[in-house]
């Protein structure tokens, strides 16, 4: 009977295995996917929009657009001049409450019920705009991985096995 509360070799291996598995699940499901989404800009090419009425705001995917080009998707595919539209970044979406980008197609080059293709660089939903925040998000992932390594090596460092 083990009255001193010492763990045997099997107990130490079991606790180490459980710690590593739980750590991998938490890091793999919670941290790594969101770090990738929150630190990487996207490039959208030919995102399709329809202008129902010129002058009415149209929600665009993502929350901030830059380097925007718009082409008419019907007919010749002519490039729409930047003076005919305005991109409103970081606007509050009335239906979801998220920050979103909106297009104000107010120029004479837009006609009702025509389809247009929008291309540009997009900050996706959940993107961290500050460089310091993106660095911290990456550091959280790195230190979480290091913590899993320490959990795996702790029994060896305590000289239980070797």
**pLDDT in the model for residue 162:** 53
Tell me: pLDDT of 119 over 90: yes
Each residue's pLDDT tens digit, 50-100: 877 777 888 888 889 999 999 888 777 788 888 888 999 999 888 888 889
Closest to 46 (Cα-Cα) out of 34, 33, 58, 61: 61
**pLDDT in the model for residue 4:** 59
User: What DSSP assignment string belongs to 48-108?
Assistant: EEEESSTTSEEEESSSEEEEEEEEESSTT-PEEPGGGEEEEEEEEPTTT--EEEEEEE-ST
**Residues pairing with 123 in the sheet:** 64
Contacts of 72 (CB under 8 A, 6+ apart): 78, 80, 109, 114, 115, 116, 117
- Coil, strand or helix: which one is 116? strand
Tell me: pLDDT of 159 over 70: no
Q: What is the pTM of this model?
A: 0.69
User: Out of 37-46, 57-66, 126-135, 149-158, which region has the weakest mean confidence (pLDDT)?
Assistant: 149-158
The structural domains of the chain, with segments of one domain joined by +, span: 42-123
Task: Answer for the pair 146, 10: CB distance below 8 angstroms, yes or no.
Answer: no
């Amino acid at each position: 009977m083990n009255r001193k509360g010492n763990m045997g070799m099997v107990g130490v291996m079991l606790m180490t295995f459980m710690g590593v598995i739980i750590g991998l699940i938490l890091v793999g499901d919670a941290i790594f996917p969101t770090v990738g989404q929150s630190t990487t800009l996207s490039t959208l090419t030919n995102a399709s929009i329809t202008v129902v009425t010129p002058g009415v705001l149209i929600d665009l995917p993502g929350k901030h657009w830059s380097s925007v080009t718009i082409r008419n998707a019907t007919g010749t595919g002519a490039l729409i001049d930047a003076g005919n539209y305005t991109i409103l970044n970081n606007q509050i979406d009335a239906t979801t409450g998220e920050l979103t980008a909106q297009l104000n197609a107010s120029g004479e080059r837009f006609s009702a019920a025509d389809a247009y293709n929008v291309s540009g660089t997009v900050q996706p939903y959940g993107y961290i705009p500050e460089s310091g925040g993106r660095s911290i998000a990456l550091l959280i992932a790195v230190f979480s991985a290091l913590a899993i390594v320490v959990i795996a090596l702790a029994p060896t460092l305590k000289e239980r096995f070797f």
